[in-house]
Amino acid sequence: MKNDPQLHFFQIKTTPKGAPRTVRLLLPKDYHQSSRRYPVIYALDGQNLFDPKTAFGGRHWKIPETMMKLPKKLQAIVVGIDNAGVGRINEYAPFKRGRQGGGGAAHLRFIMQELKPELDANYRTLPQREATAIVGSSMGGLLALYAGFQFGEVFGKVGAMSPSLWFNPQLFNLAEKEIDPRLKIYVAGSKTESRGMEPALQRLYWLLRNGGVSEGQLRVVIRGRGKHNEVFWRSEYAKLHRWLLEN
């Protein structure tokens, strides 16, 4: 009988006084049939990852279906952290832009100091940085890059799809600084989703390469076609997952 990845839900407070936040936990298909420990992927916009009923526009990333097709060596615990709804931009943007943004570091501290210790204590995780990834799209992609640049001692792998670099161009300044050469980064976007996406990703690539990130640790993919939506990110997720976890 074929095993299915198992989806679990729980809530955790984002701050000591914060509102509960739903966390969607997808366990590997062989989790209950093995004693092994697994890498962990922290994925932003958790509503959009697993279920069309909660996904924006009813289009989700189909991660359970992807996990079913992956070999055992690429199985991982995927942690979908729901966004804050109307407060999403404030929570995901690392830097202020006008009256918006600025909460990115606080959200990452919630993941690092509250959520990750709870999961490491209660599930068979590989807690080391080299087995810990953070993945996001759009504003979530922006925050995922920031997490790798600023907290590489925790997040050793980064997956950023269509990152909204236009919203916080300060990320380019961080990319110019010395980035941990062990950091593994996968970035994807398309030429047709926005006028500025292709030049932004090209600029990011060369800043990182000139800053010391090796070709083997960095993949920047610019697709010929694709819209800035869940359909494009769904089509890219399996490639991202495989590349980040291959070694």
Task: Answer yes or no: is 60 within a domain.
Answer: yes
Q: Using one digit for the tens of pLDDT, what is the confidence trace for 9-28?
A: 667 766 555 777 889 999 99
Is 93 within 8 Å of 102 (Cβ atoms)?
A: yes
The residue segments making up the domain with residue 84 are 6-245
DSSP state of 14: S
Tokens (6 digits) for 98: 């006008």
Question: For residue 228, is pLDDT > 60?
Answer: yes
pLDDT for 29 equals: 87
Tokens 């074929």 identify what position? Answer: 2
DSSP string, 177-225: S---TT-EEEEEEETTT-TTHHHHHHHHHHHHHHTT--GGGEEEEEESS
How far, in Å, CA of 165 to CA of 225, rounded? 19
Task: Answer yes or no: is 239 within a domain.
Answer: yes
Beta pairing, strands 6-13 & 132-137:
unpaired
Whole-model pTM above 0.85? Answer: yes
CATH of the domain at 137: 3.40.50.1820
Q: Using one digit for the tens of pLDDT, what is the confidence trace for 44-95?
A: 999 999 988 888 887 899 999 999 999 999 999 999 999 988 889 999 999 9
DSSP state of 228: S
Q: Using one digit for the tens of pLDDT, what is the confidence trace for 174-224?
A: 998 878 888 999 999 999 999 899 999 999 999 999 988 999 999 999 999
pLDDT for 139 equals: 97
Domains contained in the chain, number: 1
Task: Answer yes or no: is 1 within a domain.
Answer: no
Task: Answer yes or no: is 127 within a domain.
Answer: yes
Task: Answer yes or no: is 102 within a domain.
Answer: yes
Helix, strand or coil for residue 59? coil
Beta pairing, strands 100-101 & 218-223:
unpaired
Distances (CA, A) of 132 to 12, 82, 154, 198, 206: 20, 18, 7, 28, 25
